[in-house]
Amino acid sequence: MANIHDKYQSPLTSRYASKEMAYNFSEDKRYSTWRQLWTNLAIAEKQLGLTDITDEAIEQMKANIFNIDYSVAADEEKKRRHDVMAHVHTFGLVAPAAAPIIHLGATSCYVTDNGDLIILRDAYDIVIKKLVHVIDILSKFAEEYRALPTLGFTHFQPAQLVTVGKRATLWIQELLWDLRNFERARDDLKLRGVKGTTGTQASFMALFEGDHEKVEELDQLVTELSGFKEAYPVCGQTYSRKIDIDVLHPLSGFGATAHKIATDIRLLANLKEVEEPFEKDQIGSSAMAYKRNPMRSERVCSLSRHLMILVNDALQTSAVQWFERTLDDSANRRISLPEAFLTTDIVLTTLQNICEGMVVYPKVIERRIQQELPFMATENIIMAMVKKGGDRQECHEEIRVLSHQAGHVVKMEGGQNDLIERIKKTKYFEPIWDDLPKLLDPSTFIGRAPQQVDNFLAKHVKPALAPYAEALKDHTKAELSV
């Protein structure tokens, strides 16, 4: 009896991927799609006057789209060294009335390339739906924390205050761009159509006795039966491999977005300000029992690095396709195209899981603000002193000296920032002592951050999500198997 543990399995499918994406790139999906394409071709050819194609043949084909005997197909492929012809033979065994006309006038790329385009279109439908859910969840997070002040960072050094919600809008904005790119890539996909061996449609011209209009109509009929509005107007034996660049580029771009988001969360987890979900029985370290490693975010970063480089496969492959085609694309595409979507699918599921359970620690955030805010407030203190009649340059020198003393306590003694206490004890600053609480209110340092969140969600996120209202109603929490 075969043991699934005695041979290599891709972790993308065995460990991480969703069932729907794994199925989309499965043999069942691929070969049933081929059979549907052969059926579509027969339907269109019969409709346009090929009398050798009977109703019985078409009905048998329709009835056996998913009735695939893989052992027969494997034996045939071993014998003929040709996967398409192996499956033509296998299909003909269960649809004998159709056996003489299956694949009539077509080249192998009729099913392989058209099949790939259908699978890529369906894969985009899956990841677009998942991306929309992530954006929706993060938008609710941004709205909830729209006005919670937090320390901003430039160069990972303390900077002016922002809000937790405003920071989340930076993530969402990039995800919106990814959604736009996903939609463009999906909507730009066309069918290869019915083009013949080198794209000239010569075989179909022979079938229809030189009738150009019928051949053009055949191309359009098959395209529509296969769920597309248009076919690519010209091609060689294959659809241009430049299309694969257009397919993978948005996915690799999303990988960069996901990596940035997950890295931010990892850094915030180190600061103990924001954490990804951590389950009751989860173990962070086999040795250090106290650890709460951000393993989900680390997984996103790890997989995203793989995702970001896959577009290079498509670029290299497109560049070396000679004339009407070469076969050095095939093995590469069998790996890079499925892996790009499987990886995107996994990253999106993991991101959704993180965002659904993300925990914010306001007290930790407040404490870090209080450590840095006194230094940030020095300009406000100087202005307040000037309004009370003080000299700007004299005040600057007074607060400079106190700031350096407070900085020494923080850096050399490991103490708390005591600048404000020093100001309260310095007679020079007595005119503004009563104003200090107001001058140090964090909410006065966040500018228009809450309003920016509101405007962004209303004017940009809401319209982008509106077409997916029904999909968003069907919300299921993302569960990770490992």
* pLDDT recorded at residue 286: 40
Higher pLDDT, 182 or 158: 182
Can you tell me the distance from the alpha carbon of 48 to that of 40, in angstroms, rounded to the nearest whole number?
A: 12
| 227-236, 280-289, 413-422, 471-480: which is most confident | 227-236
Under a CB-based contact definition with an 8 Å cutoff, are residues 91 and 61 in contact? Answer: yes
Predicted TM-score of the model (pTM): 0.91
Choose the weakest-confidence range: 96-110, 298-312, 324-338, 375-389.
375-389
Q: What is the mean pLDDT of the chain?
A: 93
Long-range contacts of 468-472, Cβ-Cβ distance < 8 Å, separation of 24 or more = 468/129, 468/132, 471/129, 471/132, 471/133, 472/132, 472/133, 472/136
| Mean pLDDT across 408-425 | 90
What is the predicted pLDDT for the residue at 14?
Answer: 79
Query: What is the reported pLDDT for 15?
Result: 82
Which tokens sit at 480? 């990770």
What are the φ and ψ backbone dihedral angles of 432, each rounded to 5 degrees?
A: -115, 10
In this prediction, residues 364-387 reach a mean pLDDT of: 90
Dist CA 218 CA 104 (whole Å): 12
Positions marked active-site: 155, 285
pLDDT digits (tens, 9 = 90+) for 11-60: 888 788 899 999 999 999 999 999 999 999 999 999 999 989 999 999 99
pLDDT value at residue 243: 98
pLDDT number for residue 289: 41
Lowest mean pLDDT among 74-78, 243-247, 376-380, 447-451: 376-380
Domains and CATH numbers, the chain: 24-94 (1.10.275.10), 108-278+289-359 (1.20.200.10), 378-439 (1.10.40)
Alpha helices in 357-391 (DSSP H): 362-376, 378-387
Q: Which residue has the higher pLDDT, 204 or 9?
A: 204
Q: What is the pLDDT of residue 94?
A: 98
Indicate if the pLDDT at residue 429 is higher than 70.
Answer: yes
pLDDT of res. 287: 43
- Whether 482 shows a pLDDT value over 70: the answer reads no
pLDDT at residue 291 is higher than 80: no
Q: Which residues of 318-334 are buried (b: 16+ CB within 10 A; e: fewer)?
A: beebeeebeeebeeebe
Q: What is the per-residue pLDDT across 175-228, written as a single tens digit (0 to 9) for each?
A: 999 999 999 999 999 999 999 999 999 999 999 999 999 999 999 999 999 999
pLDDT tens, position by position, 107-156: 999 999 999 999 999 999 999 999 999 999 999 999 999 999 999 999 99
Tens digit of each residue's pLDDT (9 = 90 or more) over 250-286: 999 999 999 999 999 999 999 999 999 865 444 444 4
Q: How confident is the model at residue 479 (pLDDT cuts 50, 70, 90)?
A: confident
- For 328, the token pair is 């050095």
Question: Is the model's pLDDT at 4 over the cut of 90?
Answer: no
d(CA 280, CA 283): 9
* Cβ burial, residue 38 (10 Å; 0-12/13-18/19+): buried
Closest CA to 27 of 96, 62, 77: 77
The yes-or-no verdict on residue 468 having pLDDT over 70 is yes
Joined together, the tokens standing for residue 65 give: 């789209």
Task: Look at residue 2 in the predicted model and tell me its pLDDT.
Answer: 57
184 vs 82, which has greater pLDDT? 184
